[in-house]
Structure 1
Amino acid sequence: MVPETKVNILLVDDQPKNLLALEALLEKLGQNLVKAKSGEEALKCLLQQEFAVILLDVQMPGMDGFETAKMIRARPASQHTPIIFITAINRDDAYVFKGYALGAVDYLLKPIVPEILISKVAAFISLFKMTQEVKQQAAQLKAANIELEREITKRKQAEAALSRANEQLEIRVSDRTTQLKQTNQQLLAEIAERQQVEEALRKSEEKYRYLFEANPHPMWIYDLETLSFLSVNDAAISHYGYSRSEFLAMTIKDIRPPEEVPILLKALSELVPGINNFGIWKHQKKDGTLIDVEITNHNFLVEGRPARLVLANDITDRKRTEEALKLTQFSVDSAVDAIAWIKSDGHFVYVNDGNYRNLGYSREEMLSMSVPDVAPNVTASTWPDMWQKIKQNRFICFESVHRRKDGQIFPVEVTINYLEFNGLEYACCSARDISQRHRNQLALRESEERFRTALKNSPMVVFNQDTDLRYTWIYNPALGFTVEGIVGKLDTELFPPEDAQRLTTIKQRVLTTGIGTREETFTTVNGEVRYFDLTVEPLFNQAREFIGITCACMDITDQKKSEEISRALEAEKELRRLQMRFFSMASHEFRTPLGTILGSAQILEFCAQEWSESKRIKNIHRIKNAAKNLTQLIDDILTINRAETGKLEFNPRPIELEKFCHQLVEELQVNTSAKNPITFVSRGQCPKASFDEKLLRSILTNLLSNAIKYSPQEGEVHFTLISEQEVVTFQIKDQGIGISLEDQQHLFEVFHRGNNVESIPGTGLGLSVVKKCLDLQGGTISLKSAVGVGTTVTVTIPLVKD
């Protein structure tokens, strides 16, 4: 039996240890492994030998992997040789795309999964051998055809010679007979040789057919022009679920998801003749299941038509495993805790990013270190005993300290698992920085101590009750109670019925809702009513199970009495202040109209005979206006008094609102001496509704009078009525002095006037009256104002429909 010819595999890496690792992984394939330490050395190897596959490191000094791949593809003899890039650094998608753009068949990231690498290389070895075998068969067939043509030519020459011999038959019979025998012998030999060639070709075809049919991976041949299946093996029938007849009636588009068919057609349109292709695609089984397949293609002719031989390797499970492995790797690398794999000699073989965050060392630095370098409590001499303890217990957890790169010592919680992998012993170690936990514990102890001290010296009573509201614990009992006299009892056993019911209601609400509360309550103790500030919160155990309530209460009886006295004093001060402001306002506002009335009356009394009729009427008007102002002032005071005492009445009656507004505007224009036109606009259809005409007149008169009073001469006042289904809105806009933001906070306080009113007369009662009248009707008032620009007041009153 002829031994199987080994194929060449080229390993290219500038790191000897990486070459050694690749050699160790691939030596079980039993092939010829050729190592090159640089791109230049790899190119020299390609000049001397042919390779089934090239494993090429990306990151190399001098000529890197991408440059080397470009040089390999530029050489005709190696432009189809499969290249697998291997890297631990260049992980970005840009580098991956660059690798595939240079003709790479794969781009693997370290750490490499051995089974995946071996599977990929084995597939390319198989493909290389099959290609070589087909090439050899083609060469043999070509040689046989040439030889056959040569023999045919010889035969023709022999026949020509025979013809010539026939012409000379009479004179050369014996010579011709001899030559004929020789020619016949040669022909028989040629026929026998041709039969041998045909037999070899038949055996080659049988061997190819066996490789095709017996291959454990799905294989098929399809026409590159019609995309129809020409042949499929049993593995394809079994894996995809179609029968052979179904396959042969289909095209390769039928095993692709519909959304990927355009991508397939585009790839086929860009197909370069003579180049074998490799890639990963999605296929769809007969039952609709989507699978990921690794496709290897080989182009050739079938009966003169372009066709493609396809080897499909289902990598769905492998891809899931790879994704899970990547997710696991990412989770470990991203973990907050420092995670490391340690050999039995104490050296680190893997560390995650948490080690850098906790210790300050880079990954490369950590991989050259051992446990004693970061654990002050462990030395080279004590590590063997610690390893035996780890191995014996398989799992240990303890608190210790670690040392950072800057020398700082910090506490850690260490968890170690003993593991065996590929015949080697490892410890998987997780270290959590518990510095904050220690600080929190210290702070908690200090806080508890402060709390105990505070409670001891505080009038606060703290206690717990279970879900039945029985006292389970009390600290600092007051009011003559003792711990023994309270624990185990209910409020009904300790307090009068009404007080107990009040306390139980508050606590039961917290038990029901799980939401804490703080309330002021009271109870009778020894015939005296005592007030308490009571806080009630739900109480949970360590398992977060609801077990009752925790309460804190403080006797605030004395504080409450002090507050009541303070409020009474403050109310008395406010009353005196209002009285003084009222007396001041009244003495001024009453004196002015009374002075006007008295002066005009005296003039009329002594000068009436000398004056003309117009002068007498003018003085009479002065008396009337002063009397009206005095009446309005008294009405405002009475309105506020009735509102404060609850005697202000609301008596709605049906009125024609638009007509009422027109009359009010006319009255104001006639009665006021200021030359400020009022523009009235009504929007919407006024519904039939009832209003208290007296209250409404007081509201609008005050607002319009203010707009006129605080506007410059000729300053226009806009009065708008807006009618809607449920409410009516009055808007009064002026161009007056405006109101500052500070004054807007006190607008509705009795006697308050703006700081910018200067000498403009007023009582500070108008807006207070408006607010009281609106409150009685459920109305609202809002205001927008800017100093020096003007003011817009908006009043909204709900409708009282007939």
Structure 2
Amino acid sequence: MTDHEKVNILLVDDQPAKLLAYEVILKELDENLVVATSGREALEYLLKNEAAVILVDVCMPELDGFELAGMIREHPRFQKTAMIFISAIQVSDIDRLRGYEMGAVDYVPVPVIPEVLRAKVKVFAELYRKTRQLERFNAELEDRVRARTAELEESNGRLLESEQRRSLAIAAGKMGSWDWDWVNGDWMWDEGQFHIFGVDPKTFEVTPANVQALLHPEDIGELRKAMAQFAKGVTSYEAEFRIRRPDGAICWCAGTAAATVDKGGRVVRVSGVTIDITERKQAEERQSLLAREVDHRAKNALALAQSIVRLTRGENVKAYVHAVEGRISALARVHTILSLSSWQGAEIGKLVDEELAPYSVGHQIALFGPKIQLQPATAQTLALALHELVTNSAKYGALSTLAGRLCIKWEIQADTLMLAWEESGGPEVQKPTSRGFGTRSVIASIESQLGGRAEFDWRPEGLICRLAVPLVGHFAAPEAELQQEATLDRTAPGRASRSADA
């Protein structure tokens, strides 16, 4: 096999569309792409042909990816063939471990990133090619050693070792090879190995002590375990471990080592390959973090919805349903704003605009205040409080008539968000003899959940409600220029006008 001879890459999936997509992604590798639409078809092909890499879909009818991998590994010819699993579902740790036990070298989640899939397949195809070259070189060298005199035997032995080391070195920045003379303790690292460990080959001396110093303290035991296994006669070992580079960076690596023994069965040399799998580990951690974050947000949303349903009152079923739907809609609107910012926060002006949009007629509503970014929890709670105020105003206050006016102002005073809700021009207001549900809801939201205060002034000409929310722990301070910048004047018909000048 020459450096440019094509190798066979077997693609196994029961869906023709996905097979076509994999062919398009891998076409530029210029290798022989072979497709199989079932596990049985793949086995039939492998009985007659070699394959450098097998790309397998985990979920297939009749014979799934795990079962297919197990049957392939039972064949002596394919015990070391690289198999990459593609999974469209969340793979559990148990399933992942099962896949690695079946011989998987890596997992690729769906949707597939073309560059990542192409890079992974290219590495293992090249490793297969180099391995076949090594086998051919070994056979040639053994013939030469047998054909030559005893004077050339030692020289040919060194050449064989050199070829072995060279063939294991893969110049991709993510892989490195090493060799350890078990008898006299000499070490050899290639350029890729030095790169992975983040050390300079001109100044770093490869010794057991120096190598151990680069290993993560919690993973040093893995090295000792490997040495103990080789001392007992084990000829191969695989493990995942962490290294701590001199610059402080922590990297994850996968290592494979194989031992060479003499005629007496004693270990004389250990060689291996190291692969940087930091990106894979980080991707797995991000996936796990995302799952926990989604769970957390879902629980928060359900808790708010549960509170709304439990606390809402209505004169009849229709009124109750209308009130619940209104509050759930307010929660949905703020969730939309938060999702657009990837749940980093919500700007208070957008929050107020969204809540008042259904009631804006001409210049009936005016907004004044700087841009302030609220944290998600604060935005949700404040949105519900604003919903109660606007609902009450639309029923009984300034927004219940075209002559009514509503002015909302906010600013920061002494690390506190101050928001004033001022109504005028509507029906004459009479101070209620008792607090209604809407008033109690606003007070509970602001005081109990945000640690602030809510004050109501029932003037005959219109309600004034003042809300105060502590700054620390509830929203991020705006940038200096945003604090001094006058906010946009929104004067378009059908929207509330807004100015920084109160």
What is the TM-score normalised by the length of structure 1?
Answer: 0.36
Seen in structure 2, the aligned counterparts of structure 1 residues 45 and 227 have a Cα distance that, compared at 3 Å, is farther
Residue aligned with 1:516, SS = strand
Q: How does 1:291-302 map to 2 (within 5 A)?
A: 291-300=251-260
Seen in structure 2, the aligned counterparts of structure 1 residues 43 and 63 have a Cα distance that, compared at 3 Å, is same
Seen in structure 2, the aligned counterparts of structure 1 residues 47 and 209 have a Cα distance that, compared at 3 Å, is same
**Matching residue's letter, 1:316:** T
Seen in structure 2, the aligned counterparts of structure 1 residues 257 and 265 have a Cα distance that, compared at 3 Å, is same
Aligned residue number for residue 253 of structure 1: 212
Deviation per CA, 1:415-462: give whole Å up to 9, x if none. 9xxxxxxxxxxxxxxxxxx9998699999589536336999xxxxxx9
Aligned residue number for residue 241 of structure 2: 281
**Matching residue's letter, 1:516:** E
* Structure 2 spans left out of the alignment, 5+ residues: 299-332, 338-353, 360-385, 412-421, 430-451, 469-495
Aligned residue number for residue 272 of structure 2: 310
Residue aligned with 2:62, SS = coil
Shift of 1:99: 1.1
Residue aligned with 1:84, SS = strand
Residue aligned with 2:112, SS = coil
Counterpart-to-counterpart distance in 1, 2:258 and 2:454: 73
Counterpart-to-counterpart distance in 2, 1:202 and 1:284: 33
Counterpart-to-counterpart distance in 2, 1:317 and 1:64: 27
**Matching residue's letter, 1:53:** V
Shift of 1:23: 1.7
Shift of 1:68: 1.2
Shift of 1:8: 1.8
Aligned residue number for residue 450 of structure 1: 396
Seen in structure 2, the aligned counterparts of structure 1 residues 445 and 206 have a Cα distance that, compared at 3 Å, is closer
Counterpart-to-counterpart distance in 2, 1:84 and 1:447: 62
**Matching residue's letter, 1:136:** R
Shift of 1:69: 1.2
Aligned residue number for residue 48 of structure 2: 48
* Structure 1 spans left out of the alignment, 5+ residues: 153-193, 337-410, 416-433, 456-461, 479-512, 520-531, 548-802
Deviation per CA, 1:144-198: give whole Å up to 9, x if none. 344459xx9xxxxxxxxxxxxxxxxxxxxxxxxxxxxxxxxxxxxxxxxx98x99
Q: How does 1:216-365 map to 2 (within 5 A)?
A: 216-217=172-173, 219-223=176-180, 230-239=187-196, 240-243=198-201, 246-251=204-209, 252-266=211-225, 273=234, 277=238, 280-300=240-260, 305-316=267-278, 320=282
Shift of 1:231: 0.4
Number of residue pairs matched by the alignment: 352
Deviation per CA, 1:670-705: give whole Å up to 9, x if none. xxxxxxxxxxxxxxxxxxxxxxxxxxxxxxxxxxxx
Residue aligned with 1:10, SS = strand
Q: How does 1:56-135 map to 2 (within 5 A)?
A: 56-89=56-89, 91-135=91-135
Seen in structure 2, the aligned counterparts of structure 1 residues 325 and 67 have a Cα distance that, compared at 3 Å, is closer
Deviation per CA, 1:464-491: give whole Å up to 9, x if none. 99x9xxx99788999xxxxxxxxxxxxx
Q: How does 1:601-750 map to 2 (within 5 A)?
A: none
Aligned residue number for residue 328 of structure 2: none
Aligned residue number for residue 433 of structure 2: none
Counterpart-to-counterpart distance in 2, 1:463 and 1:134: 81
Shift of 1:44: 2.1
Seen in structure 2, the aligned counterparts of structure 1 residues 438 and 331 have a Cα distance that, compared at 3 Å, is farther
Counterpart-to-counterpart distance in 2, 1:463 and 1:477: 17
Q: How does 1:78-227 map to 2 (within 5 A)?
A: 78-89=78-89, 91-147=91-147, 215-217=171-173, 219-223=176-180
User: Aligned-residue CA RMSD in angstroms?
Assistant: 5.5
Seen in structure 2, the aligned counterparts of structure 1 residues 8 and 90 have a Cα distance that, compared at 3 Å, is same
**Matching residue's letter, 1:261:** I
Deviation per CA, 1:23-56: give whole Å up to 9, x if none. 2222222222222222222222222222222111
Seen in structure 2, the aligned counterparts of structure 1 residues 127 and 443 have a Cα distance that, compared at 3 Å, is same
Counterpart-to-counterpart distance in 1, 2:427 and 2:171: 87
Shift of 1:263: 3.6
**Matching residue's letter, 2:272:** V
Percent identity between the two aligned chains: 28
Seen in structure 2, the aligned counterparts of structure 1 residues 140 and 535 have a Cα distance that, compared at 3 Å, is closer
Counterpart-to-counterpart distance in 2, 1:92 and 1:463: 54
**Matching residue's letter, 1:61:** P
Counterpart-to-counterpart distance in 2, 1:210 and 1:81: 21
Q: Is the 8 A contact 1:222 1:307 kept in 2?
A: yes
**Matching residue's letter, 1:142:** E
Q: How does 1:324-473 map to 2 (within 5 A)?
A: 447-448=393-394, 450-451=396-397
Counterpart-to-counterpart distance in 2, 1:224 and 1:198: 16
Counterpart-to-counterpart distance in 1, 2:281 and 2:140: 41
Counterpart-to-counterpart distance in 2, 1:285 and 1:93: 28
Counterpart-to-counterpart distance in 2, 1:312 and 1:538: 64
Shift of 1:259: 0.9
**Matching residue's letter, 1:254:** A
Aligned residue number for residue 15 of structure 1: 15
Shift of 1:85: 1.4
Counterpart-to-counterpart distance in 1, 2:127 and 2:407: 82
Deviation per CA, 1:770-801: give whole Å up to 9, x if none. xxxxxxxxxxxxxxxxxxxxxxxxxxxxxxxx
Q: Is the 8 A contact 1:242 1:286 kept in 2?
A: no
Residue aligned with 2:397, SS = helix
Aligned residue number for residue 790 of structure 1: none
Q: Is the 8 A contact 1:228 1:248 kept in 2?
A: no
Q: Is the 8 A contact 2:170 2:176 kept in 1?
A: no
Seen in structure 2, the aligned counterparts of structure 1 residues 544 and 148 have a Cα distance that, compared at 3 Å, is same
Counterpart-to-counterpart distance in 1, 2:407 and 2:90: 65
Seen in structure 2, the aligned counterparts of structure 1 residues 24 and 447 have a Cα distance that, compared at 3 Å, is same
Residue aligned with 2:103, SS = coil
Counterpart-to-counterpart distance in 1, 2:95 and 2:423: 69
Residue aligned with 2:104, SS = coil
Counterpart-to-counterpart distance in 2, 1:98 and 1:22: 24
Seen in structure 2, the aligned counterparts of structure 1 residues 8 and 335 have a Cα distance that, compared at 3 Å, is farther
**Matching residue's letter, 1:232:** W
Aligned residue number for residue 476 of structure 2: none
Counterpart-to-counterpart distance in 2, 1:38 and 1:464: 65
Counterpart-to-counterpart distance in 1, 2:389 and 2:464: 25
**Matching residue's letter, 1:289:** A
Seen in structure 2, the aligned counterparts of structure 1 residues 134 and 214 have a Cα distance that, compared at 3 Å, is closer
Higher-Rg structure is: 1
